Structure 1
Amino acid sequence: MTSSPFPVRFDTARQYAFEEALGVTGQGFGAVLVRDVLGRFSLVVDDTGRQQDAAPLHASWQAEFTNRLGPYASDQSVLLASRMFSADAVLNSSRAVTDPAGPSTPGQLRFIDNTVVGEDWARVSAPDPAPVRAGSRAHRTALYGFKGGVGRTTATAVLARHLADLGHCVLVVDLDLESPGAGPLLAGRDLSAHGIVDHLVEAAVDSAPGLELVTRTAYAPRHRYGELWVAPARGRGTPGMPYTYVDKLNRVYSDLPGTPFAARLDQAVQACEDAVERDGDTGRRPDVVLLDSRAGIHDIAAVTISQLCDVALLFGADNTQTWAGYGDLFAAWQSLGQAPRIREKLHMVASMVPDSVHFPMRGYLDSFRAHAFEKCSVLYDEVAPGEQAAPDTSTDTLPEAPFAPTLHDDWAPHAPIPILFDQGLVGMDSVNAPDWWDRAFVEAAYRDFRATVTSLIEDALASDGDREGTR
């Protein structure tokens, strides 16, 4: 039997489990490797409908698996589907994914990872949404930072006003539930009675109809057709009634029978979009929704980036903490096979960029780009020098081009979108300084950010319109 002279730890257990599982599938059996919430592994072997009898091999498989994984082998480490009451629930699970790093074998090995939180980072497809009229789906851009304090919410507010100035109907949804900011920054004290938290709580008991979820801000856009709305995380409450925000927050993240948290959050955002159409004078739906996501590796961020948005702006500073965090996140997407489905909507934002004699902006952005390229490369396709796509002789067409941007490609996810740093942006109080938007330093700090992101959004809107016109 193979064993390790070193203690088996969480990280090595995954490697060992896959090696043992591949040994089983290499003998012609399909299998699903399952990791539980404590990190322990079990292997379900599909021996049904096989001429080869797996029973004589079962004892040796289990002994090898248990010996190799030690404390990270479950009590029943190898199970035969033919002896299980509900093997189909595992073998046919929609959550079973193919390990992208695993070599091909005569059998097929898939993986189910059970976690307490964070599972939505591995799900890139959108949740099953509530019905929406054809053509009425708003474009959604998410703004996210691995660490807080990078100016994400202020950038959301600046971008929202700029898009409204261009004539768009813009809705900002504050998804930073633990630290609400976008609502007060955009609407001051004139918030709606209810917020995202209220919808998540009330919808769980079928009591969401009638909530006042959005408010039109007092800002008058330069374009007469522009509108700026905000859906706060926390509403202002009902006069004379307590608003127990913390009690509500403690209940919002759970899955419900038949309705996972991702679907619940999507329904809340759609309810806010519906409210803009219902409560506005023009009966217009938002065409752009900005999702101000909370920071960190959190379920809100996981759902927002992986499933709810069309464009994801990833904020960061050029420091060790930023790149360690994004490196872990990108590696997780790659290992779970999600890189091809998410990478094209990612764009790095270099926030708080210095521009001085001692710290010139160009040098900072070059360093940011190089570090971002290093981390993002795990999401890109590997292409050998001189390799080109070969035509498919059966169809006379070229295969899909590899996604392999170079360091200097400005369209790539790693290309930094800059926001300049100014001391005046620190501790911004929009209630007591309502004219801060028009200050010269704000215009200078966000000029490139506004132009670049607006181009991304309007190109996406145009593409959506073209597709709609061909239906």
Structure 2
Amino acid sequence: MRFAQARVRALDLAHEVAAAGVDVLAVRDVLGRFTLIVDDRTQPLPPALESLEDDYGPRLARKLGRYAADRSLMRASGLFSADGLLDSERAVRDPERPAGRVRILDNTVVGEDWAQVSTPAPEADGSRTHRTALYGFKGGVGRSTATAVLARHLADQGHIVLVVDLDLESPGVGPLVAAGTELPPHGIIDQLVESAVDNADGLELVVRTGYEPRGGRGELWVAPARGRGMPGLPYAYVDKLNRVYADVPGADFADRLERAVRACEDAVARDGDSGRRPDVVLLDSRAGIHDIAAVTISRLCDLALLFGTDNAQTWEGYGDLFEAWLLSGQAPAIREKLRMVASMVPDSPLRPRDAYLQSFREHAWESFSLLYDDDVPDPETNELDLDTFSPFLEDEAAPHHPIPILFDPGLVGLDAVSVPGWQDRAFVQAAYRDFLPTATLLITADPQSSEGPR
């Protein structure tokens, strides 16, 4: 009996119990062990389950082996905290059998926010800052450079743009966007550490960059992961990083990260000449399956641009991530705000651009099929459900359809921090010619976004 088998067997038995006419909650602890809780709070169990513990308890223990909890089968009426478990918002329907009476409550050490979805709240006047996350399963795909290019492009369109560097383990987009402007004394790392002890008031987190947008109406701001520090004091970045993910009562990491982004948005309105909040926030997320990416994609953003190259590592990684969303029951809430970005697209006789993008699209579609609905007719009416989300392979508006960024040798080793006007170089413009207008349209046309420049 191994970890993955335990879930299948536990849920099979849970559905067998539920078939007698009761609701069942399958609780998995942080080690992967299962307990089945049968809901008898409002009415007694049906006759078929009168000997519930004797009939099903030993079977569950045998089936699960080491992955059976010490008390693997329990009645809700015998629990002191049954309501807290059975009424938890984190308990979701079994995605494999959503019409059944079985729900799952998964407890994890990290990554729990992959299964918690929320939408940024509107301001008091009804306006909304649009947040876009830029994420890659693997690093080295040009995500931070694309963030800087997109930020400048949006500012040129007249938007107030804020770039927030959330790649705490490998900060870099801050200096890249700042364009030589002195960074603020504090960074996102300081906000996260200080807020854990209720000491974040007065931090200087953002700075307006020296970039002068075309048209004159836009603004470009940056909130770096690492600030410049205070005179005469060590910055102690690693010491802060070693403490940043700690959950403390009333200030868990996910909530602190959300408050950090909002604090940066508030600072733009407070420190800017116009008193306006950002129209667009670009969140440069850490790569990999990590708590920062979990919170950023699931809770903080309206749109998530997923970067990747067409290789087995990319599709295996995204496949694991999509499977986690599917099993958590959160796929419907997340999938429509995703969009793939094909980065470093080659165009050579050995691998022509169009053939590469077709291969990328096919592999992306295979991966995203985990999140899409089955496009099958209703067995009774023989008609398709109009609410089904099942994009076809060539659907250009589908999450799996790639937005290309072309590879150019000039981008390798480009010193974008110290070379002024680098974004206007011909090879840079050529590389991003499809990405910039498409990403801009997705951001500005989103029905949940703000109305753009005011």
Give yes or no for contact 1:139–1:461 (8 Å, CA) kept in 2: no
| Unmatched segments (≥5 aa) in structure 2 | none
Residue of structure 2 equivalent to 1:22 = 15
Aligned equivalent of 1:185 = 176
* 1:114 counterpart residue number: 107
Question: Kindly tell me: are residues 361 and 414 of structure 1, through their superposed partners in 2, closer, same or farther at Cα, counting changes over 3 Å?
Answer: same
Q: Residue 33 of structure 1 contacts residue 111 of structure 1 at CA under 8 Å; is this kept in 2?
A: yes
2:350 corresponding residue in structure 1: 358
Structure 1 range deviating more: 159-168 or 432-441: 432-441
Q: Alpha-carbon deviations, 1:293-345, whole Å to 9, x = none?
A: 00000000011111111111000000000000011111221222212111111
Give the 5 Å matches for 1:125-164: 125-126=118-119, 132-164=123-155
Distance in 2 (CA, whole Å) between partners of 1:42 and 1:405 is 37
Between 1:42-51 and 1:277-286, the stretch displaced more is: 42-51
Tell me the equivalent position of 1:102: 97
Aligned sequence identity (%): 64
Q: 1:381 to 1:462 in 2, by over 3 A?
A: closer
Report how many aligned residue pairs link the two structures: 449
Structure 1 residues not aligned, in runs of 5+: 1-7, 392-397, 467-471
1:77 is matched with which residue? 72
1:328 to 320, 324, 348: 320
Q: Pick one of 88, 91, 107 that aligns with 2:86.
A: 91
Deviations 1:171-230 (A, max 9, x none): 000000100011011114611111111111111222111110001111111121110000
Contact persistence 1:389–1:399 (CA under 8 A): no
One-letter identity of the residue aligned with 1:218: G
CA deviation map 1:273-308 (0-9, x unaligned): 010111112212110000000000000001111111
Alpha-carbon deviation of 1:170?
Answer: 0.3
Alignment of 1:8-19 (within 5 A): 8-19=1-12
Checking the alignment, whether the CA contact within 8 Å between 1:347 and 1:413 is kept in structure 2 is yes
Q: Quick check: 1:47 aligned with 2:47?
A: no
| CA shift in 2, pair 1:438/1:115, >3 Å | same
Does residue 456 (structure 1) correspond to residue 451 (structure 2)? The answer is no
Equivalent residues of 2:378, 2:385 under 8 A apart: no
CA distance in 2, matches of 1:58, 1:451: 61
Cα drift, residue 50 of structure 1: 2.5
Code of the residue aligned with 1:230 in structure 2: it is: V
Give the equivalent residue in structure 2 for 1:416. Answer: 402
Q: What's the TM-score, normalizing by structure 1?
A: 0.91
Deviations 1:242-292 (A, max 9, x none): 111111112222333244322211110010001011111221211000000
Query: Map of 1:258-277 to 2, 5 A cutoff?
Result: 258-277=250-269
CA–CA separation in structure 1 for the residues paired with 2:378 and 2:437: 35
Report if aligned partners of 1:164, 1:223 keep a CA contact under 8 Å in 2: no
Matches within 5 A, 1:301-450: 301-384=293-376, 400-450=386-436
CA distance in structure 1 between the aligned counterparts of 2:132 and 2:217, rounded to whole angstroms: 21
Q: 2:163 maps to what in 1?
A: 172
Q: Deviations over 1:398-452 (max 9, x none)?
A: 9753211111110000111000011221233223323322211000000100010
- One-letter code aligned to 2:394: H
The answer for the alignment partner of 1:233 in structure 2 is 225
Query: How do 1:56-75 residues align onto structure 2 when only pairs under 5 Å count?
Result: 56-75=51-70
**Are 1:292 and 2:259 matched, yes or no?**
no
Change (3 A) 1:448 1:255: same
